[in-house]
Amino acid sequence: MKTRQELTKARRWVVKVGSSLLTADGRGLDRELIERWAAEIAGLRERRADVVLVSSGAVAEGMQRLGWRKRPHALFELQAAAAVGQMGLVQAYESCFQRFGLHAAQILLTHDDLAHRQRYLNARSTLRALLELGVVPVVNENDTVAVEEIRFGDNDTLAALVANLIEADVLVLLTDQPGMYDRDPRVHPEAQLLDEVAANDPALEAMAGAGGVGSLGRGGMLTKVRAAARAARSGAATVSAAGREPEVLRRIAEGEAVGTFFQPAREPIAARKRWLASQLQVRGKLMLDDGAVRVLRESGRSLLPVGVKGVEGHFSRGELVVCVGLNGAEVAKGLVNYSAEEARRIMSQPSDRIERLLGYVDEPELIHRDNLVLV
């Protein structure tokens, strides 16, 4: 999906709705808007498109039900609010989708689910089965049990990971803003709305700044820029648009210039490497010399111990580590063939010395190229 016009052919969508839209600034769920989105998703289904909905709002709805005016800081209170709010959120979606002859399914995920290869594959199989059945999966972070995910706290990233997971054609981030501006419009009234940008343009993060975080939502424009770049890894285009715009999803599906279009710059990468690239939780770090960096970037070869100059962290064989150059810039991620302790013993050494140093040899590579992806 390299142009807006190609969105007319999109057959797999991920639509993310933020808390600021769902909860009417703390006054409870905006059921009128939810029903409108349900109608638009039903319209996409009539176009033979599959849709996964990633929804914020559980904590915010819980706060409203509990009579809390300010978002609590204590993790147990956040978890309690999420548990209470999830009930209302799911009830609202199910009742609205039923009016259009659709069933909804609740899927609660954590980033840990997507970091574990087997659970990742299970989640993908479940989502695909639901889509084949004509069901609309409603995905949310499992805030009631995942302490780290509450701290992380934005569903823009989760939506991008789901787009990678199901190999979506397009990710739509519905927000309370018309799209991305070249500068903060709250500070610069002359700021211009960006119509189309490259998802991997490094200048976008500087434009987005720190992002605005309201009392209910946890994401700003910076999280959307990063989500667009993450979704682009699997070839998905991203559109950030105002969720209250009339028929916003239909207009996007017809190629209309709505919001900001983030164009993916590369072809989709293989499923296993897409999974590696999408992981957020790394267990350690390998510092590479300039020669190793050059070999990885230019030749696509495996990482050998001889090119490693430092090892940080505590990791076991098969866990995910990040590879950085001597300047600290990230180069790649991969699954290591040796533990951190073993990696320290064999780093800077040729592969034919591994057995002598460890007493055994598993693989001659520290990371095989099939288990490594450039970042």
The pLDDT value given to residue 207 = 85
- Partners of 367 in beta bridges: 303
Apex 70 CA angle, 69 and 72, nearest 5: 130
The pLDDT value given to residue 150 = 41
Task: Decide: 62 and 85 in contact? Cβ < 8 Å.
Answer: yes
- Mean local confidence (pLDDT), 285-300: 95
DSSP letter assigned to residue 287? E
Of 3.40.1160.10, 3.40.50.300, 3.40.720.10, 3.30.70.380, the CATH number of 4-271 is 3.40.1160.10
The pLDDT value given to residue 326 = 94
- Nearest CA to 14 out of 208, 269, 271, 230 is that of 230
The overall average pLDDT reported for the chain is 89
What are 211-236's pLDDT values in tens digits? 443 433 445 889 999 999 999 988 89
Structural Rg of the chain based on CA atoms: 22
**351 or 202: whose pLDDT is higher?**
351
The pLDDT value given to residue 266 = 67
What are 42-56's pLDDT values in tens digits? 999 999 999 999 998
Q: Please give the Cα distance from 60 to 205 (Å, whole number).
A: 27
Q: Please give the Cα distance from 205 to 223 (Å, whole number).
A: 9
For the chain, where are the alpha helices, taking DSSP H only?
19-22, 31-46, 58-66, 75-98, 111-115, 117-132, 147-152, 155-166, 203-208, 221-232, 248-253, 271-278, 290-299, 340-346, 354-358
Query: For residue 146, what pLDDT band results from cuts at 50, 70 and 90?
Result: low
- Partners of 138 in beta bridges: 53, 106
Q: Please give the Cα distance from 306 to 359 (Å, whole number).
A: 18
Residues of the chain with CATH 2.30.130.10: 282-374
- Mean local confidence (pLDDT), 171-178: 94
What are 111-135's pLDDT values in tens digits? 778 877 778 888 999 999 999 999 9
The pLDDT value given to residue 141 = 85
Task: Decide: 215 and 71 in contact? Cβ < 8 Å.
Answer: yes
* pLDDT > 90 in the chain, percent: 62
**Angle (deg, nearest 10), helices 31-46 and 75-98:** 60
Position 85, amino acid: G
DSSP string over 17-34:
E-HHHHTGGGSS--HHHH
Task: Decide: 204 and 138 in contact? Cβ < 8 Å.
Answer: no
DSSP letter assigned to residue 305? G
What are 345-360's pLDDT values in tens digits? 999 999 999 999 999 9
The pLDDT value given to residue 25 = 60
What are 253-271's pLDDT values in tens digits? 999 999 999 999 767 777 7
Q: Please give the Cα distance from 3 to 13 (Å, whole number).
A: 15
Task: Decide: 113 and 123 in contact? Cβ < 8 Å.
Answer: yes
β-pairing verdict for 308-313 and 284-288: antiparallel
Fold of the domain spanning 282-374: 2.30.130
Residues of the chain with CATH 3.40.1160.10: 4-271
* pLDDT > 70 in the chain, percent: 93
Positive or negative CA dihedral for 353, 356, 357, 362?
positive
Query: For residue 26, what pLDDT band results from cuts at 50, 70 and 90?
Result: low
Predicted TM-score (pTM) of the model is 0.80
